[in-house]
A and B are shown apart, each in its own frame.
Chain A
Amino acid sequence: MEEKIKARVMDSRKIKRAIQRMTTEIIERNRTLSNLVIIGIRTRGIYLGKRISKLIKELENTDIPVGVLDITLYRDDFSELEAQHMVKKTEINFSVGDKDILLVDDVLFTGRTIRAAMDSLIDLGRPNSIQLLVLIDRGHRELPIRADYVGKVLPTSKREIVHVQLKEIDKSDEVLITEPAETK
C-alpha cells in the first residue's frame, strides 16, 4: 500500500526534549525510584524505555531495569487478523511483583495494545502500580485508558497513520503522519 507523507511532526531535537521532560516528570512522581522498572512494548517502546532508563541513570544515578513485552498472544483481534502475526519473545528477567511498572509505547491510539499489555503483566505477577508513558497520543480511544506521561498530543483522523521512527532501528528520529494514497 502506497502512503503519502502529510506532515513531519517531530524531529530528533523535539523527540529528545519530550523524553527529557517526561523523564523529569517520572523522577518527580516516583519518590522511590529504586522500586521502578520499565517495560517496553515491542518494538519501539523498548528503545524509548532504554533511553529513559539511561537518562534516569545520568540524572539520579539509579539503575532502572528495562524489560521487553510482546503482546501478540494477548491481542483481542486474533480472529479478525488477516495476516499472521509473528510472536516475538517477551524478555523480562526480573520479577514484576510489588514493583512500580512504567509501561512504555510509541503511540497511544485505541488503547487495545495497552489493555493487552496490562493483562500480560498481571499474569507475570502482581505489580504495585502500572504507569503509562507514550511518545504520541493520537486520540480515538476505544477503551477507558489514558497515559500518565505524554510526549505530544497529536489530533489525527482515523484514516491517518502515525509513524514513530527511532534511530536504533530506523534511519533517524522522527514522527510522521501519513495517509494511504487514493486507490483510484
Chain B
Amino acid sequence: MPFIHKHLLGTQFLSPSEITTVLDTAESMLEISTREVKKVPTLRGKTIINLFFEPSTRTRSSFEMAAKRLSADIINFSKETSSMVKKESLKDTVLNLEAMNTDALIVRHSSSGALHFISTFCKSHIINAGDGTHEHPTQALLDAFTIRQEKKNIEGLRILIVGDILHSRVARSNIFLLKKLGAEVILVGPPSFIPKEFKKFGVDIDFNLDRAIKEADVVMMLRIQLERQQKNLFPSIREYRNLYSLTRKRFRLAKKNAIIMHPGPINRGVEISADLADSAKSLILKQVENGIAVRMAVLYLLLGGKEREITD
C-alpha cells in the first residue's frame, strides 16, 4: 500500500496500512546505518530545513542524521539565534526560509496546531517534530517500530502509557497509532494528568500503577515535565515517585518478557529508577537507534518520487 501524503502532521491521519508501509520501509533502512559508508544517494539535491522553535537533542540530531544518510542537504535553524528575536513572525520566518527553495521543513513548535497552520501556506513538505501537546508522529512510529522488533506483532498487546498524559504529545501520537494497529492501550497516572475525555480514543484509564502493570507487555514511561509543575498538578515529586515511579519491585508485576520504553529525556529516579533504565529490559537506547531508520523512511516516502498533486 503506497504512502501518499504531502505532509506528516500526525499519526491520526495515517491508515493502518500506511503505518505498516512506514515500518516496513524503516526495516530496510536499518541496514544502511550498519555499513561502513553510512550513506545512500537517494535524496541527493533535496534541501531540508530543521526548524526547531523548542529545544531538542534526539529528534533534531536524528532527523539531521537521517537526512544526511539519504544524501539530502539539511540546515539547522534555531529560534534563539534567528530574527525571531527581532520579532519576526512565524509565518514570515517560514516564508523566507521557503523562498530559498527548500523541499521539506521539519518543524517543532510549542503551540499545538502550529504545524497545521504552516501547512496551509507552505509549498514544501511539512514534517511534525512535535507541536505543543498535540502530536509527535515520528516518535510514535519509532516506538511502534521498536515494539514490533521485540514482539513481532503489535495487535493484542497490552501497552501501558504512564505519566503526564495531559501534556504529552508523545502519548497522543502513540494512542492514535497503537489503537490503529490493534493494541490494548491503558493510560496510567494521577487523575489530574488523565482527563476523562481520553476515553473516547478507545483506551482504558487506571490511576493505580500496581494494578494496571499486571499482565502488561509494554510499559511506556513518560517524562514528568518538571518545568510545568508550577501548575500544582500533583502534590510533590516524592508522592508521585511513590505511586507512579517504575521501580524493580513494580516491574516484577508485569509479564516476564515485558519491555520498558521511554521517549527521553529521562528524569532518573523520578519516573523510572536509574538501574531499571540501564537494565536489559529497557529499550530506551534502541528507540534512539531505530529513530534514524524510521525518519529515513518518512523522508524517503514523502520526498522520493514525482511531485504528486496531493491535498491533505
Interface set of A (CB-CB < 8 Å, partner B): 70, 73-74, 78-91, 119-120, 123-125
- Pairs of residues from A and B, 10 with the lowest C-beta to C-beta distance, nearest first: A73-B40, A87-B28, A73-B42, A123-B37, A84-B2, A89-B28, A81-B305, A84-B305, A87-B25, A78-B304
A84-B3 CB under 8 A given contacts A123-B35, A124-B35: yes
Q: In the complex, what's the smallest C-beta–C-beta distance from A75 to chain B, in angstroms?
A: 8
Do residues B306 and A80 form an inter-chain contact, with CB atoms below 8 A?
A: yes
Q: What DSSP secondary structure best describes chain B's contact surface? A: loop
Residues of B within 8 A of A87 (CB): 25, 28-29, 297, 300
Do residues A84 and B301 form an inter-chain contact, with CB atoms below 8 A?
A: yes
Residues of A within 8 A of B21 (CB): 86
Do residues B301 and A74 form an inter-chain contact, with CB atoms below 8 A?
A: no
The answer to the question of B155 belonging to the interface, with a C-beta cut-off of 8 Å to chain A, is: no
A43 to B297, CA, bound (A): 21
Residues of A within 8 A of B29 (CB): 87
Do residues B306 and A73 form an inter-chain contact, with CB atoms below 8 A?
A: no
21 residue pairs bridging A and B, Cβ less than 8 Å apart: A73-B40, A73-B42, A74-B41, A78-B42, A79-B305, A79-B307, A81-B305, A81-B306, A82-B305, A83-B305, A84-B2, A84-B3, A84-B4, A84-B301, A86-B21, A87-B28, A87-B300, A89-B27, A91-B31, A120-B40, A123-B37
Residues of A within 8 A of B4 (CB): 84
Q: Taking CB as reference atom, which chain B residue is nearest A123?
A: B37
Do residues A88 and B35 form an inter-chain contact, with CB atoms below 8 A?
A: no
The answer to the question of B179 belonging to the interface, with a C-beta cut-off of 8 Å to chain A, is: no
Residues of B within 8 A of A124 (CB): 35-37
Residues of A within 8 A of B3 (CB): 84
A115 to B99, CA, bound (A): 35
Do residues A86 and B25 form an inter-chain contact, with CB atoms below 8 A?
A: yes
A120 to B71, CA, bound (A): 14
The answer to the question of B123 belonging to the interface, with a C-beta cut-off of 8 Å to chain A, is: no
Q: In the complex, what's the smallest C-beta–C-beta distance from B148 to chain A, in angstroms?
A: 15
A84 to B302, CA, bound (A): 10
Residues of B within 8 A of A73 (CB): 32, 40-42, 70, 300
Do residues B41 and A119 form an inter-chain contact, with CB atoms below 8 A?
A: yes
Do residues B37 and A78 form an inter-chain contact, with CB atoms below 8 A?
A: no
A85 to B21, CA, bound (A): 11
Interface set of B (CB-CB < 8 Å, partner A): 2-4, 21, 24-25, 27-29, 31-32, 35-37, 39-42, 70, 297, 300-301, 304-307
Q: In the complex, what's the smallest C-beta–C-beta distance from A66 to chain B, in angstroms?
A: 16
Residues of B within 8 A of A84 (CB): 2-4, 301, 304-305
Do residues A78 and B305 form an inter-chain contact, with CB atoms below 8 A?
A: yes
Q: Taking CB as reference atom, which chain A residue is nearest B304?
A: A78
A70 to B37, CA, bound (A): 16
A86 to B300, CA, bound (A): 10
Residues of B within 8 A of A89 (CB): 27-28, 31
Q: Taking CB as reference atom, which chain B residue is nearest A122?
A: B37
Residues of A within 8 A of B36 (CB): 124-125
Q: In the complex, what's the smallest C-beta–C-beta distance from B299 to chain A, in angstroms?
A: 12
A94 to B94, CA, bound (A): 46
Do residues B40 and A123 form an inter-chain contact, with CB atoms below 8 A?
A: yes
Do residues B28 and A88 form an inter-chain contact, with CB atoms below 8 A?
A: yes
Residues of B within 8 A of A88 (CB): 28
Q: Taking CB as reference atom, which chain A residue is nearest B70?
A: A73
Of the listed residues A82, A84, A119, the one surrounded by the most CB atoms of chain B closer than 10 A to its CB is A84
Do residues A74 and B305 form an inter-chain contact, with CB atoms below 8 A?
A: no
Q: Taking CB as reference atom, which chain B residue is nearest A80?
A: B306
Do residues B304 and A90 form an inter-chain contact, with CB atoms below 8 A?
A: no
Do residues B41 and A83 form an inter-chain contact, with CB atoms below 8 A?
A: no
Q: In the complex, what's the smallest C-beta–C-beta distance from A161 to chain B, in angstroms?
A: 21
Q: In the complex, what's the smallest C-beta–C-beta distance from A180 to chain B, in angstroms?
A: 21
Q: Taking CB as reference atom, which chain B residue is nearest A82?
A: B306
A85-B35 CB under 8 A given contacts A90-B28, A123-B40: no
Do residues A90 and B31 form an inter-chain contact, with CB atoms below 8 A?
A: yes
Q: In the complex, what's the smallest C-beta–C-beta distance from B51 to chain A, in angstroms?
A: 24
Residues of B within 8 A of A125 (CB): 36
Q: In the complex, what's the smallest C-beta–C-beta distance from A118 to chain B, in angstroms?
A: 13
Q: Taking CB as reference atom, which chain B residue is nearest A92?
A: B31
